[in-house]
A = this chain, B = another copy of it.
């Protein structure tokens, strides 16, 4: 199997100023064509560091992808380091990139400086992948490796949209130069079973998996636990069959916790259901304060089924707009099943929808009591012929509690809608 390392160069990542999103995107694309990424590193803009790190990676990999360190300013050492690594001390002007630089400068109304012009200067031994989005070209080097092994090194700009733009040429070049192995991935999405319980539920299934089938648990507070099944090598159709067989055994063990596969989310499966069934939904939020609306509308096209919502932070809004009764608030408090029930009834009738969700809880850090600690959430789910209420207690800070509350509410609705990926 082909393997790769991804190396990001630049201090802005090491000081925590920016999050490296390039490596993840590159890994995803390499993975799709059967290349296993076994290491990602971020290092400083320092020649000896760059040379030694890349040399080390080249011993254990077929492909190295380097991003960053190609800016025109003097703190960028990448090009020189790569030339050094390839024992190439001659440079040439690359005509294709030079003309792009000309064009970019004139389009932006910038005088063409020597600094900019020199962006087209590349080590003689490399092949250029022209970068139409910026001044620094992509470069492909063949590293002097031991024995028969060939190591390809790609150097790409660090600006995410420039890198993204060059990524297809990188993949094409790899496919020309190597025979790629297949990798099969399938991810099952569950909500509501904690990781450890899930593990014991599916233990005997997991223990009897064919050895070529790898399983990974990917937990996240907002989307439950994902189970990723991977098969490396072999052909895709036989991997698909093997996985299908195992998934069919697994699904009954997951039961209603299984809500989707791969890139789906709680909000997308709910959206698909509402769209398909031509139903509408509205939300009345107290403590989740807009988060449920945000999630439901994060799906393009959600205006077809999401009518709107009321954020009723103040109790007067709960009464005056949603019709919660004063005595309900007095007797049970705002964080109560009685209150969210009336909120859900209120918003459903106000917005004339088929379904409604209402939330009221204590996100923290203050406001908790002995009987209703911080992390308590009351949720009501209303449908054409039902209304149900739930109380749950979570454990987190303000931001996290709101995320958990919202995910929980979406999952409760999903369960009521009987959306399962069985």
Chain B's closest residue to A25 (CB) is: B16
Determine which of B14, B72, B135, B185 lies in contact with A15 in the assembled complex, contact meaning CB atoms within 8 Å.
B185
Instruction: Give min CB distance, A84 to chain B, whole Å.
Output: 20
Chain B's closest residue to A21 (CB) is: B19
In the complex, A17 has a CB within 8 A of chain B: yes
User: Given A199-B72, A293-B289, A395–B107 Cβ distance below 8 Å?
Assistant: yes
Instruction: Give min CB distance, A310 to chain B, whole Å.
Output: 5
- A27 contacts B38, CB within 8 Å? no
- B195 contacts A398, CB within 8 Å? no
Chain B's closest residue to A46 (CB) is: B38
Q: Give Cα A20 to B25, complex, Å.
A: 11
Query: Interface code A268-285, partner B: CB below 8 Å = 1, 0 otherwise?
Result: 000000000000000101
Chain B's closest residue to A53 (CB) is: B39
Chain B's closest residue to A132 (CB) is: B395
- A159 contacts B219, CB within 8 Å? yes
- B317 contacts A73, CB within 8 Å? no
Q: Give Cα A292 to B308, complex, Å.
A: 14
In the complex, A399 has a CB within 8 A of chain B: yes
Q: Give Cα A306 to B312, complex, Å.
A: 10
- A298 contacts B398, CB within 8 Å? yes
16 extra interchain contacts, Cβ-Cβ under 8 A, other than A12-B216, A15-B185?
A14-B39, A17-B228, A41-B42, A74-B199, A108-B393, A116-B196, A119-B196, A159-B221, A289-B296, A290-B309, A294-B402, A300-B366, A303-B313, A308-B310, A310-B310, A317-B351
A-B CB proximity, top 3 nearest: A290-B290, A290-B293, A16-B28
